[in-house]
């Protein structure tokens, strides 16, 4: 497990994709563009375009009555050393929000208070993140993008026991 400052200092992802783990707290989740309408055909996941009679997938050349919304979330996380913007996709978004993107989109369309509450509920949550740093070209700019590969809420009992073991080792070495 690294700190966010170590990830930045080591320039992870500058030369080749790099994987790392951090323990961090979610401090902000962007609410705009948190998901996209995707093809509901198994294994496709491509963005669909709304037409007069449904949602059309250019890859599959198929129209669907409604899309399958998938997460594409940007969130800011922090530890005691720094903060970092991370992106996550569907499976990780479901783990963080505890609901599907379809369910969250339903809240956005029908219950603004519950929609806002879903975002507020994940703020200040502490998780173990497994991430990938990878150089990305966007237009004529190059920058490292940080993607969450998996996320799990901290098990405070386990973390406490781990710290107690470290303290015991320190006492034995004194």
Query: What residues contact residue 6 under an 8 Å CB cut-off, 6+ apart?
Result: 81
The pLDDT value recorded for residue 107 is: 96
- Which DSSP symbol is given to 30? -
CA distance 150 to 146: 12
Tokens 């170590």 sit at which residue?
6
CA distance 145 to 150: 15
| pTM score of the predicted model | 0.87
Tokens 């669909």 sit at which residue?
48
Q: What is the domain range of residue 163?
A: 4-34+72-172
Q: 88 and 141: one domain? A: yes
Q: 62 and 76: one domain? A: no
Provide the CATH number for the domain around residue 67.
2.20.25
Which regions in the chain score pLDDT beneath 70?
173-174
Q: 47 and 84: one domain? A: no
Note the pLDDT tens digit of each residue in 80-116. 999 999 999 999 999 999 999 999 999 999 999 999 9
Provide the CATH number for the domain around residue 148.
2.40.50.140
The pLDDT value recorded for residue 52 is: 84
Q: 148 and 90: one domain? A: yes
């Amino acid at each position: 497990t690294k700190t966010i400052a170590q990830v930045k200092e080591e320039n992870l992802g500058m030369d080749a994709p790099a994987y790392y783990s951090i323990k961090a707290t979610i401090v902000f989740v962007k609410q705009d563009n948190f998901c996209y309408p995707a093809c509901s055909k198994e294994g496709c996941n491509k963005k669909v375009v709304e037409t007069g009679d449904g949602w059309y997938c250019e890859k599959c050349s198929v129209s669907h009555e409604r899309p399958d919304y998938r997460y594409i979330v940007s969130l800011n996380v922090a530890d005691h050393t720094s903060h970092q913007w991370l992106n996550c996709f569907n499976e990780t978004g479901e783990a963080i929000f505890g609901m599907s993107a379809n369910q969250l989109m339903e809240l956005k369309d029908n219950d603004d208070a519950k929609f806002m509450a879903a975002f507020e509920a994940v703020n200040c949550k502490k998780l173990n993140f497994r991430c990938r740093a990878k150089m990305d070209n966007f237009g004529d700019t190059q920058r490292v993008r940080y993607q969450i590969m998996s996320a799990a809420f901290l098990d405070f009992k386990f973390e406490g026991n781990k710290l107690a073991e470290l303290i015991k080792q320190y006492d034995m070495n004194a």
